[in-house]
Amino acid sequence: MSAVLQSLAARSPGDVVMHDGEQSLTAAAVRDAVSRCRDELEKLPPGAVASRLDNGMAAAVLDLALAASARPHIALPPFFTEAQAAHASTSAVAMALPSKAESLLDRLHWRTLDDSPRALPAGTAIVTYTSGSTGAPKGVCLDRALPERVASSLVEAMAALGVRRHLSLLPLGVLLETIGGLYAPLLAGGEVHLPSLATVGHRGSAGLDMPALLATLHRHAPESIILVPQLLQGLVTAAEAGAALPRSLRMIAVGGARVPLSLLGRAAALGLPVYEGYGLSECASVVALNRPGARRAGSVGRPLPHARLRVDGDGEVWVDGPAFLGYTGEAARAPGPYATGDLGEFDSEGFLHLRGRRKAMYITAWGRNVSPEWLESELVQHPLIAQAFVWGEGRVQGAAVLVPRRVDVSQVALERAVAEVNSGLPDYARVAAVLAADEPFTAANGLLTGNGRPRREALFQRYGDALAAAPDPHARPVLSVSRPESIHP
């Protein structure tokens, strides 16, 4: 039996374990629901099961029932397109897809996807897809033990906070939320709140209704939440504008992308308990985390108890220890250290500082390595800039494609905004030319991943010619590039 199921079995029958905003379930009710769902699963042909359910108790119970039945679970994020979901299900050899779960105790409805299953790596219990950074995303195959080991590390690392009530704000189809927002609270004997994504305020893959999010926070009064940087920025901006945040919060974990130091400073000024971390799907999510008594702004914290991290001579971060079994559709991965593709360094006290992705790095005309993610994270902190894509290979200074926050932001205003950001950057990392995007970056138009990261290849394919033609003065003020007329916020 998995550690999470053992923890549930040890709970008092009347303990409230889950809540979705309308009803709550005790430990006894969850155990009964898991048992019923497992019985339904046993009626299916052998094979993996793929799900794409909204956040809620049904999604949580299905995940636990699959753990009890020893079937591989392919949890697909709701922001996947139909084509991505179909590709993921068939490439991972899903035998059935839960397409509906109206009530936790209602029978799940199924439809067969593949009558000729192919093998996943031996021991596969979970298949997770990262952010959907490509049209045909690759599945990461994990055993049952590693995600629960990561969850146990999180419980140990954050024990001093005494968190008992977690509110899920990210989709459960995202591994970080499953491990940090479902497994860890249950292992700690806590309570998980699982309102629907629409209730939380999610509008599509990248939209957010801030009043709905604030209302949800006050309604559930969570002690812990997990955010991506864009959600943290939204909360900080709302709080700076006078919105009240619940005083119940003891931990705001943030990860999934680079968090600007300026944003962390704004959060600290508001007294928000933000703990930045770092993880990868290939390592079952979190491997390093800031924690109570060991927090260093600008770092992603120290390694968690289960993980051993090192930085090689080229500055690449490696994880020594348990990792994924392989990718779907590929040969099983040989055991051994995993090269993350991330660049970083440890400071004298063991805190890991990330410097960007190896593949995303560009080299300037002066031979300086620059992380575009660093510059993009600084640019979007300006109140006039909503999204940014920076490119600078072979240039003296970079060029950027920007999406303004409002339709009335002029080209001149964008140039001034970039100049203000440049003033805080070293000269080799400054942006010398600005191109206004012809539309916002979204998952729907293929320019954004589901968790908010730019799709670099797609953006360069669209804007590469204009970027390559952009002026490249040395140590001069920002120059403009033609601004399309069809800008939208």
Reported as a pLDDT band with limits 50, 70 and 90, residue 131 is low
Partners of 387 in beta bridges: 403
Judged on CB neighbours under 10 Å (0-12, 13-18, 19+), 405 is middle
Reported as a pLDDT band with limits 50, 70 and 90, residue 107 is very low
Name residue, tokens 């979204």. 442
Phi/psi at 483 (5° precision): -105, 120
> DSSP H helical segments within 98-227, as ranges?
145-157, 175-178, 184-187, 197-200, 210-220
Nearest alpha-carbon partner for 405 in 387, 424, 422? 387
User: Average pLDDT of 190-210?
Assistant: 87
Report the DSSP pairing between strands 224-227 and 251-254.
parallel
CB atoms within 10 A of CB 198: 12
Partners of 279 in beta bridges: 286
CA 75, 76, 82: angle at the middle one, nearest 5?
Answer: 150
pLDDT value at position 474?
Answer: 58
Please write the tens of the pLDDT for every residue from 273-314. Answer: 999 999 999 999 999 999 999 999 989 999 999 999 999 998
Lowest mean pLDDT among 17-26, 172-181, 329-338, 441-450: 441-450
What sign results for the dihedral spanned by CA atoms 454, 76, 281, 248?
positive
CB atoms within 10 A of CB 25: 23
Instruction: Find the Cα–Cα–Cα–Cα dihedral 196, 176, 275, 213, rounded to 10°.
Output: -10
pLDDT value at position 483?
Answer: 47
CB-side neighbour CA atoms (13 Å) of 432: 20
Q: How far apart are CA 215 and CA 429, in angstroms?
A: 40
Residue 38 has pLDDT above 50, yes or no: yes
CB atoms within 10 A of CB 339: 14
Please write the tens of the pLDDT for every residue from 17-27. Answer: 999 999 999 99
CA 134, 281, 114: angle at the middle one, nearest 5?
Answer: 65
Residue 133 has pLDDT above 60, yes or no: no
Please, are residues 133 and 257 in contact by the beta-carbon 8 Å criterion? Answer: no
Domains of the chain: 3-354 (3.40.50.12780), 362-480 (3.30.300.30)
Partners of 385 in beta bridges: 404
Nearest alpha-carbon partner for 104 in 145, 68, 60? 60
